[in-house]
Amino acid sequence: LAHTQGQQDFNGKRILISGGGTREHLDPVRFLGNPSTGKMALALAQAASDRGGIVTLVHGPIAPELLPISPNYQLISVVSADQMEAVMMSHFVESEIIIMSAAVADVKPAYYTNHKLPKKELPTDLKLESVTDILAKLGSLKKADQILIGFAAQTGDIINPALDKLKRKKLDLIVANPIDKPDSGFGTDTNQAIFIKADGQQQPIKSCSKLELAHQLLDFVNLEKLRRRN
Ligand code: CTP
Ligand code: CA
């Protein structure tokens, strides 16, 4: 691994991580969702807590077999983007490092019915509403001593859309993540990325396990922390 094994370089740091995908329900059995499994966020939470961080992981539905049996961090489970927003907001102020790796919905059905709709009553022109951009909201509230990190899962060109999101959401760092490669993206155990900092500095990370990528990201964050102190 790239990091020093057993290093406690995040000792006592409060680290807030989001992961998995949100679900926007139309009724109790139907939702708009995405293929995120939460593996990247689980790797980030494990890496950060193994390095001494006080970690909270806010996550959308994750398959039970992927969840750690006795995690050394706090897990808060949510379903919708609105719920994720509420939990992220309640933990944001006390957090020093915030990593938004969740695949959050962009839209939700305009109406929710609390009983299962018979299929003949399902709308053929589903009315949608936009969802709060949680990361952009955190970016606008961020204090100078907080480090805010986003993910940009992209097909095709990954750099330009990631740069745009980095600026627009006032991030310190973005993980540009190709999802159209066989060994990276949704559901895989490996991943690859380019880390991009607000000052333009870039670091490409070749395909590796999600845990290794998580440690690489923490190494990169550490450099950022040191730079700020000087
Ligand atoms: N994000 C968020 N809230 C949303 C949508 C996205 O916090 N409602 C965050 C994601 O967790 C990720 C970053 O914003 O860290 C980028 O998400 P992405 O879907 O790539 O960007 P969008 O701004 O939603 O743009 P688009 O879907 O058009 O690419
Ligand atoms: Ca999106």
Query: What tokens were used for 14?
Result: 């409060």
Can you say which residues are annotated as belonging to the binding site for CTP? Answer: 106, 116, 151, 165, 169
Which domains occur in the chain, in start order?
14-229 (3.40.50.10300)
Out of 85, 130, 133, give the residue to mutate to test ligand 1, the one with the largest number of ligand atoms within 8 Å of its CB: 133
Active-site residue, 72 included: no
Distances (CA, A) of 216 to 30, 162, 182, 209: 38, 18, 21, 11
pTM, two decimal places: 0.96
- Indicate the pairing of strand 202-209 with strand 14-19: unpaired
Q: Is the ipTM of this complex over 0.90?
A: yes
Residue range 101-128, pLDDT digits in tens: 999 999 999 999 999 999 999 989 999 9
Instruction: With CA atoms as reference, report the closest residue to 207 among 224, 182, 187, 227.
Output: 182
Three-class secondary structure of residue 89 per DSSP: helix
Name the phi and psi angles at 181, rounded to 5: -100, 145
Per the model's pLDDT, the better-predicted residue between 223 and 169 turns out to be: 169
What letter would DSSP give residue 187? T
* Average pLDDT score over residue span 204-226: 91
* Average pLDDT score over residue span 55-75: 97
Q: Given pLDDT bands bounded at 50, 70 and 90, which one contains residue 184?
A: confident
Which of the following is catalytic: 11, 34, 114, 177? 34
CA of 98 to the centre of ligand 2 (A): 18
Three-class secondary structure of residue 77 per DSSP: strand
